[in-house]
Structure 1
Amino acid sequence: MARKVKCNSCGNLDEHINMTKNDKGKYFHIGECFEKHLAHRKLIEDENRKLNELYQYIKDLHGIPKEQNIHSSVMWRIQELRNGNDIYQGKKERKYRVGVEYDLLLSAYKLKEKDIKWFIENVLQDQVDAKDVSKCLTIALKGLAEAWRLEELKKKREVEKEKQMASTKEDTSHFTTQEEIRYTRQKDDLDISNLL
């Protein structure tokens, strides 16, 4: 009798022969459970990559040195925005039905970059403090609706382009290739080329 192990995805016990092991030593059913696990890991890696891009952009925008990190309260606020909450006067406030994606927040930052730079130079006088970075995050959130609208417009254009490409393929499907075309010479009584 084979040893039984628990699947980390569905939680069912099964023989280890029917399971596969990931790089961390956890077991998953071969097939759907393992595919689900791989898709989840890919999603987490994408989220971490997008968060890292946003993190580096904020550090560069504020001129924070490489060896210094952004204050944890700002990162907590960004994480809460991702979960659909915003922090207002130290309290969580449900603001969005679905959280704000990191790449959308990065787009909002880029849209409001000019305003944020002006705010850093004229109001904050080039200070880099947790409150100051949080204020700039608030400015970026004001551009969130516009960034979302531009993202939706971009997706709509991609869908229209795909539809147009599909219709173009359908339109050209009735054309034949050169191999399929056979030319036959028509007999003409006045043609004297056979005599020459």
Structure 2
Amino acid sequence: MKGYKCKFCGLKNDHLEMKCYSKPTGKFNKNGSEKMARKYVHLKCDEEYKKNEAFKEKELKELDELFTYLKKLHRIDTLDGRMMEKIQDLRNGTVVFNKKKIKRYKEGVPFRDILYTYEVNETYINEIVSNMVFAAKWNEFSYVFAIVINNINDSIGVASNKETVMNRREAVIDNNLVDQTSYSTDEPAKYNNNKKDVLDISEFL
């Protein structure tokens, strides 16, 4: 396919084979056919492209779950730009300190860990939201978000330990199943049918 730029590497190379990804747009051409959105990827880039797309899909799902939780927590219909900026900054590993953004987390904080920190501290956060009076929802959000930032390392540690325990537990269960299976797959013991049964009383009858 000539003249198309690779969606993954961004390069246009007419000598490399490309793969086309297409999906309907919901719009239609004058002849009634549905318009398609197309992306072109070099075959050599395709595997990494699919991994990247899967990662972005996972990110969007986790972000949506976080947004749903926050809207319910703060009783708002949507998150404004400032709120979203704070969340995205933390996802990228950046926090505000003395009115300046600094890189606090080398690889950033996944959305699932941000949500988990809210959930771990839910009782305390609900007390704050219920008992304190804020000038605006932005102030309420910022106050609670600061609590989350201060507790995120502990929460991630708890989540990591919990996952480790679960993995070990599953490993033990798997090992036990293997041990039980090893017994069940052994060949049954062969008995001598000619040997007299100690409980056989036929000779006395």
For the criterion TM > 0.5, the same-fold answer is: yes
In the alignment, the residues of structure 2 paired with residue 87 and residue 170 of structure 1 have an alpha-carbon distance, to the nearest angstrom, of 52
Matched, 1:175 2:188: no
Is residue 99 from structure 1 mapped to residue 108 from structure 2 by the alignment? yes
Structure 1: tracts of 5 or more residues without a match: none
**Relative to 1, partners in 2 of residues 1:186 and 1:131: Cα closer, same or farther, differing over 3 Å?**
same
Q: Can you list the C-alpha shifts for 1:87-125, whole angstroms capped at 9, x where unaligned?
A: 234321111122111111111111222222222233225
Task: Please identify runs of 4+ aligned residues in structure 1 that moved more than 6 A.
Answer: 189-192
Contact 1:86 1:94 in 2 (8 A): yes
8 Å CA contact retained: 2:21, 2:38:
yes
Residue of structure 1 in register with 2:147 after alignment: 139
Change (3 A) 1:70 1:183: same
Where does residue 27 of structure 1 map in the other structure? 40
Amino acid in structure 1 at the alignment position of 2:8: S
- Contact 2:66 / 2:112 at 8 angstroms: preserved in 1? yes
**Equivalent AA in structure 2 for residue 27 of structure 1:** Y
* Residues 123 and 186 of structure 1, relative CA distance in 2, 3 Å threshold: same
**Percent identity (aligned):** 27
- Counterpart contact for 1:83–1:98, Cα < 8 Å: yes
The RMSD of aligned alpha carbons is 3.0
TM-aligned CA deviation for residue 173 of structure 1: 4.6
TM-score using structure 1 length = 0.78
Report the TM-score when normalising by structure 2: 0.75
Shift of 1:14: 5.2
Q: Give the paired residue count.
A: 187
For structure 2, list consecutive stretches of 5 or more residues without a partner in the other structure: 23-36
